[in-house]
Amino acid sequence: MTKKTLTVNYIARVEGRGALDVTISPSKEIEDLKLRIYEPPRFFEAFMIGRRCDEIMELASRICGICPVAHQITALRAIENALDVNPSDQTKDLRKLMAISAHIQSNVLSMYFLSLPDLMGYESSIAMTKNHSEIVKRGLRLKKLGNDITDLIGGRAVHPVTAVIGGFTAIPTKEKLSMIRERLVDAKKDAHETVDLFTKVEKPLFERKCEHIAISDSRHYAINEGRLRSTEGLNIHETEYRDYISEKQVPYSTALHSYVKTRDAFMVGPLPRLNLNIPQMSLDAKDAAKRSGIKIPNYNPFNSHLARAIELVHDIDESIEIIDRLPLKQEKREYQSKAGFGAAITEAPRGSLYHSYILDNNGIVKKADLVPPTSHNARNIEKDIYKLVEENSDLSVEELTLKCEMLIRAYDPCISCSTH
Amino acid sequence: MKKKPTIGIFKFTGCAGCQLELLHLEDVFINLLDIVDITYWVMVKRENTEGPWDISLVEGGISTPEEIEEIKEIRKKSKILVAFGDCAVNGCIPSIRNWIPQMEAEQCVYSDTSSIHSTKILGIGEYVKVDMVLKGCPPHRENIIEVIKSSLLNIRPRLRQHPVCMECKLKDNACLIISKNLPCMGPVTSAGCGAICPSLNRICEGCYGPMSNPNTSALADVFRKMGYSEEDIKRKFRKYAGMTPEFRKEAGD
């Protein structure tokens, strides 16, 4: 046997620009393994300094075009924590509805358009339209639903505009929300079919136990607020994040690598959320999980797609619940600038997202600290690939390369986010 | 059968939001595939060709030496090159960092800056000839369709050059500057969004960049009279389009 090298210069069907290099020796030892993220950094943490706190939601949004809502809400909550602003229950509900709609959009994009082609043997969803137009159309329909809800609450789907410190500049009308409610009810069928589709498609058999982290709340399925918990016993408040989680730079990646201090790399995303928070899911989502046969806790990252599908069922149920209890009353927004530190952690579609800011007396940002989900996952993806390659070193270079790519796509990395 | 026109979609330094807007054309996306052949789109396809392309949609600004070479290559292989969204037009929000010394920005994020080789972030037009400009952060879906359609028909696209104010008038919005004394950027900002923000009680922040021939110093004076500081005014112009000649004076040195 000779030396084997796997090289992907520009990983397809993920957001942003990254590469993979693996070298396997003739004796099947892995000599080198790098997830090379070469996305050019934009230095958000540098140019946010000196900006007004009421602009930060707008700037943070531009970190990512796929999960702008997550960055907006995290930034707003961190700034509000610094200013001691407590938004109303209606604002919290509207923010959650908006965050869920972004989860629907992003998770459907990941499942149907970025990963499904691998699982069905196509190069892209575009190539699938000929023989599987019903499946592609279902994906488009579900994605559109998510987008339309973000659009209704936020004014537009990519970089929405209405969420501000303390609330919203405008709230949707009852009529428009009830139209969305009808569409959500109808979409349940599509969501269940999505669960069945991702139960049925063949996923690589693989398992690697590692620490799974997500925010968690005993009262509801945590998306915008909760304590950061893990399968290894981590249980911290968002202000304590930096006491427990650190980052280090590696020379081949513009994204920093995160790890739990004194421990190791970890995973964030839909599978950790399912592992930690399935008791808080809707009954229908729990039934869907049971029907799929997924074993919880689950440490096969390829099951992330199924976790997204199960979340989709829950997302629809919770959206309907929120719409039904929204009072839709006009509220006043007031706040005063003051110096302080504020931190927030939310669940972006790809996993836990951390923002913190230090403000001066005039509400001008003095320091910004941002850790997106894909920075959290970067090192863990490498460790998964290491095990996957070890276990499959007999496969041809082409087959093994595709398997590694599929694993990367299962994490649905958002590389622009990770570099920011 | 006549060969379908080819499209390439490219990402440089940006957030992928513009590409995503293209995928958000859910209602017409499948129909679009009937008339064009997307042969390069790494975010969506695993098999991509090396060109040439009839229409190239380029998202993102240019911020590394490698990107300068890449955009020149794409230019050579493209009939119509479109600057797709504000980052490709003028660097957009990431261009705020152009006012910070590069080393300072790098040290803010990386402990070892030896592997980082970023330059100032600029629009693609700084390095290559651009045939069409699709403004917005992100561009409105209707404008994306307009650019693709007019490229296929080989005619000039109907994109707006007038300010957001015109769209507010068409929507019967009360002017936020006059009625609420708020620092709206609408009078100098290119229309095309449909006045999304003012219609939702939010001032225009300028995310489509400058309109054709704006009077920025008059608007800056209006902001001064409202009580905004010189720093506040700089921040407003040094946001989505600080690098453009139109906003450069008010954006400060």
pLDDT digits 0-9 by tens, A186-245: 999 999 999 999 999 999 999 999 999 999 999 999 999 999 999 999 999 999 999 999
Q: Which H or E run includes A369?
A: strand A365-371
Q: Supply the pLDDT for residue B3.
A: 86
Say if the Cβ atoms of A123 and B111 lie within 8 Å. no
B233 located within any domain: yes
B158 located within any domain: no
B159 located within any domain: no
Strands B6-11 and B37-41: parallel
Same-domain status, B86 and B121: yes
Q: What is the mean pLDDT of residues A317-346?
A: 96
Say if the Cβ atoms of A46 and B104 lie within 8 Å. yes
Nearest beta carbon to residue A51 from set B111, B196, B235: B235
Nearest beta carbon to residue B44 from set A51, A124, A251: A124
Of the candidates A97, A69, A74, A45, the one whose C-alpha atom is nearest the C-alpha of residue A159 is A69
Q: Give the DSSP letter string of A143-193.
A: HHHHHHHHHHHHSSSSS---EETTEESS---HHHHHHHHHHHHHHHHHHHH
Same-domain status, B213 and B232: yes
Nearest residue on chain B to A106, judged by CA atoms? B20
The angle that helices A304-325 and A270-277 make with each other, rounded to 10 degrees, is 70
- Residues 195 through 234 of chain B touching chain A, CB cutoff 8 Å: 196-197, 199-202, 205, 207, 232
B40 located within any domain: yes
* Cα torsion A63, A69, A71, A72: sign: positive
Q: Cα separation of B90 and B75, whole Å?
A: 17
Residues of A in contact with B196 (CB under 8 A): 155-156, 161
C-alpha to C-alpha distances, B94 to A44, A371, B238, nearest whole angstrom: 7, 17, 10
Say if the Cβ atoms of B45 and A63 lie within 8 Å. no
Say if the Cβ atoms of B24 and A157 lie within 8 Å. yes
B59 located within any domain: yes
Q: Supply the pLDDT for residue B109.
A: 94
Q: Supply the pLDDT for residue A406.
A: 97
Instruction: Give the domain CATH number at B136.
Output: 3.40.50.700
Q: B98, B123, B153 — which closes off a domain? A: B153
Greatest Cα pair distance, chain B, in angstroms, is 65
Q: Cα separation of A221 and A247, whole Å?
A: 28
The C-alpha angle A187, A188, A190, rounded to 5 degrees, equals 65
C-alpha to C-alpha distances, A122 to A129, B44, B91, nearest whole angstrom: 10, 12, 35
In Å, how far is A254's CA from the nearest CA of chain B?
A: 8
Same-domain status, B37 and B61: yes
B38 located within any domain: yes
* Strand spans (E) along B12-49: 37-41
Domain range for residue B78? 6-153
Mean pLDDT of chain A: 97
Please classify residue A302 by burial: count the beta carbons closer than 10 Å to its beta carbon, then call 0-12 exposed, 13-18 middle and 19+ buried: buried
Of the candidates B16, B113, B134, B33, the one whose C-alpha atom is nearest the C-alpha of residue A46 is B113
Same-domain status, B103 and B196: no
Q: Supply the pLDDT for residue B1.
A: 56
Encode pLDDT of B66-102 as tens digits.
Answer: 999 999 999 999 999 999 999 999 999 999 999 999 9
Same-domain status, B137 and B168: no
Q: Which residues of chain B have pLDDT under 50?
A: none
Residues of B in contact with A150 (CB under 8 A): none
CA R_g for chain B: 19
When scoring A10, A42, A118, A161 by the number of chain B Cβ atoms within 10 A, the one with the most, hence best to mutate, is A42
Q: Cα separation of B240 and B159, whole Å?
A: 19
Site of tokens 């590692």? A210
Nearest residue on chain A to B201, judged by CA atoms? A169
Q: Supply the pLDDT for residue B2.
A: 72
B116 located within any domain: yes
Alpha carbons within 13 angstroms on the beta-carbon side of residue A152 total 22
* Residue pair A284/A317 in contact by the 8 Å Cβ criterion: yes
Say if the Cβ atoms of B33 and A129 lie within 8 Å. yes
Label residues A241-256 b or e (16+ Cβ within 10 Å = b).
beebbebebbeebbbb
Same-domain status, B71 and B12: yes
Q: Is B195 helix (H, G, I), strand (E, B) or coil?
A: coil
Site of tokens 């959290």? A376
Query: Cβ–Cβ contacts within 10 Å for residue B27, how many?
Result: 10
B140 located within any domain: yes
Total domains in chain B come to 2
- Residues 132 through 171 of chain B touching chain A, CB cutoff 8 Å: 137-138
Q: Cα separation of B241 and B208, whole Å?
A: 8
Domain ranges of chain A: 44-419
- When the candidates are 1.10.20.10, 3.30.505.10, 3.50.50.60, 1.10.645.10, the CATH number that belongs to A44-419 is 1.10.645.10
Say if the Cβ atoms of A12 and B43 lie within 8 Å. yes
Same-domain status, B145 and B86: yes
Same-domain status, B103 and B12: yes
Same-domain status, B111 and B178: no
Same-domain status, B133 and B210: no
C-alpha to C-alpha distances, A34 to A8, A243, A390, A418, B15, nearest whole angstrom: 11, 28, 15, 16, 23
In Å, how far is B10's CA from the nearest CA of chain A?
A: 10
Q: Give the DSSP letter string of A231-289.
A: TTS-EE-GGGHHHHEEEE--TT-SSPEEEETTS--EE-SHHHHHHHHGGGS-HHHHHHH
Strands B53-59 and B6-11: parallel
- Residues 20 through 59 of chain B touching chain A, CB cutoff 8 Å: 20-21, 23-24, 26-27, 29-30, 33, 38, 41-48
pLDDT band for A2, please (50, 70, 90 cuts): confident
Q: Is A254 on the interface with B (CB under 8 A)?
A: yes
